[in-house]
Structures are given as C-alpha cells and as structure tokens.
Structure 1
C-alpha cells in the first residue's frame, strides 16, 4: 500500500474540498493510505519521512500562496514523488472559462511554475484548479469543478502504481 501525504493551505475552502476529492480517489481507486493535513499556524510540524508520495496544495489569493504551503515547499523531497496543485477562482476565471489558453498559461507560469522553480523542487505533476471566493456567506467567481480533481488524482494514482 502506497503512503501519501496531502498537505494544503486554504482561504475560502475550495483547496480543502479539492484535497478531500483527491484523497478519496487515491484511497478508493488506488488503495493509497492518505493522510490529509491542513497547514495553518496551529498545524503540527508534518514529518514526511514515512511517505512515498507528497501532494502540496495552496489557494491563491491576492496574488499569493498561503504562507504555510509556501514554507512546506522548502522541504527536502529526495526519494519522494511530489505533486503540486493550486486553486484559485481568479487565476482560472475567466481564462479557462473563455478558452483563453494563452492567458491561462501566463497565470500558470506566474503562480505555479515560478513557485516550483524558486523552491527548487521537481514535481512529478502539477495542476491548476478553479476555486471560489466567499464573502458574507455568498460565493462568487465559483469555477471549481470536481471532475478536474478526479482526473488529476487518477493520473497520480496511475503514476504511483
């Protein structure tokens, strides 16, 4: 059984929901033992030594990763399969919704590829997901699609067989 650690930072909850979907697919379809940890100022110091796979996720808001997810990328992932995702309604909306692939690639480069390069990590796979913004209990810019996480989780599962 593969052991997978999935850590994430979230602001409005979309990244948490994405993490849950990914973990469920890996458990149910690929028999992974998955530990999911929300990174926050109260979260424990997460040990990665006993895991085969590490998945790191962060929401993007105000052009920034969550602090703890950004810090987590500074770890030494030698000998691990690393997967990284971001979720943001503003990055993918309206670029993907309108089919503007060039704008999508620009945002992906700015908020995912550069962060990966700066952290000097070599992920097996990366992904950009939609998200939502919630203010006063009302959602806006909601372009979160569960099927995107399912597809990526299946890719991870096949990669880690």
Structure 2
C-alpha cells in the first residue's frame, strides 16, 4: 500500500489548485493512490490509518494558517511521512520568500517535533481584488481582474511534487 492523503485549508482557492497538480503528478508518474480532502469539513476527515503519506497544505492570510490546517497537526501522525506546504503571496515574491518560509512555515511546524516532516515548501498565492484597500475607487476595482495578485510558480509546484513522489516511493 502506498496511499497518500492530501489535506488542505484554503483562503482564496490557490491551495486546492496546487494540490490538484501535485495529485496528478503523484498518480501518473509515481503510481501513488491519492485522495484530496478539504479541511473545511474537518470532522469528516478520512481515517489516517489508511494512508502511508500525508501532504498538509494551508493558505496563509495575515501570516496565519487556516484554523483547521494547523489543528490537523495535532492528529496522531505517527509512522506517516508528512510533506507540508503553504500558499502565500509573500512566498511568491523573491525578496519575501525567506521571510514567508521561516515565519509562516518553519516556525509553525517546529512546534510539532513528533511529526516526521519529509518535505516542506512555500509557494506563491493569490489575493482577490476584494481584499485591496477600501480607498481603491469602485471604477478602478471594476477594471481589475478577479485576482489582483497571482504569483504562483507552477514549475516550482511540479518540481516539488516530483521531489515528494521520490520520497514517498523510496523504501
């Protein structure tokens, strides 16, 4: 059995889109069975005993994980290979990447030393125009695309999927 559960919490939809790309690569290139679960429905989360590997993902807003993503880290993940990533517009900016990686990812997971984190990553995210400052005029807002910022690097996401595919299939 080499089954993987991807669980995520999202703010603006960037995280599940990254999860879908990762799922496709793991299934196609590494023959890993993958199930994706939105932690919005936390209570109905599948039984973790069925999975060898877990990928935990969280969208970031104001430096914070989604509530249920961070709560998921309190589950018994003993014996699981756990990969983790965040989606944050800060991580998509070269000059802010290290800040996002340390403060939004490493500082959070460092509190869970009992978890076997085998890979971690920070990817760009997106910010909808509705989150722009209120001083922006309505005329301006109607001319903007739905997402004012979308700085995800799809090649980086695919590269990481291959990295974890190799880790998950290694004995």
Indicate whether the TM-score tops 0.5.
Answer: yes
- Alignment counterpart, residue 101 of structure 2, candidates 82, 99, 108: 108
1:106–1:135 CA distance, 2 compared to 1 (3 A): closer
Task: Report if aligned partners of 1:116, 1:122 keep a CA contact under 8 Å in 2.
Answer: no
Aligned runs of 1:14-93 on 2, under 5 Å?
14-41=14-41, 44-89=44-89, 91-93=90-92
Unmatched segments (≥5 aa) in structure 2: 131-144
The question of 1:127 aligning with 2:135 is answered no
1-structure distance, mates of 2:165, 2:57 = 17
1:25–1:43 CA distance, 2 compared to 1 (3 A): farther
| 2:166 counterpart residue number | 158
Corresponding residue SS for 1:58: strand
Superposed displacement of residue 48, structure 1: 0.7
The question of 1:144 aligning with 2:164 is answered no
Superposed displacement of residue 43, structure 1: 5.5
> Which moved further from structure 2: 38-47 or 76-85?
38-47
Unmatched segments (≥5 aa) in structure 1: none
2-structure distance, mates of 1:112, 1:42 = 21
| 1:11 counterpart residue number | 11
Normalised to the residue count of structure 1, the TM-score between the two structures is 0.89
Structure label with greater radius of gyration:
2
1:43–1:20 CA distance, 2 compared to 1 (3 A): farther
The alignment's C-alpha RMSD in Å is 1.6
Superposed displacement of residue 108, structure 1: 1.1
Task: Report if aligned partners of 2:73, 2:112 keep a CA contact under 8 Å in 1.
Answer: yes
2-structure distance, mates of 1:158, 1:41 = 30
Normalised to the residue count of structure 2, the TM-score between the two structures is 0.84
Superposed displacement of residue 138, structure 1: 1.4
| 2:2 counterpart residue number | 2
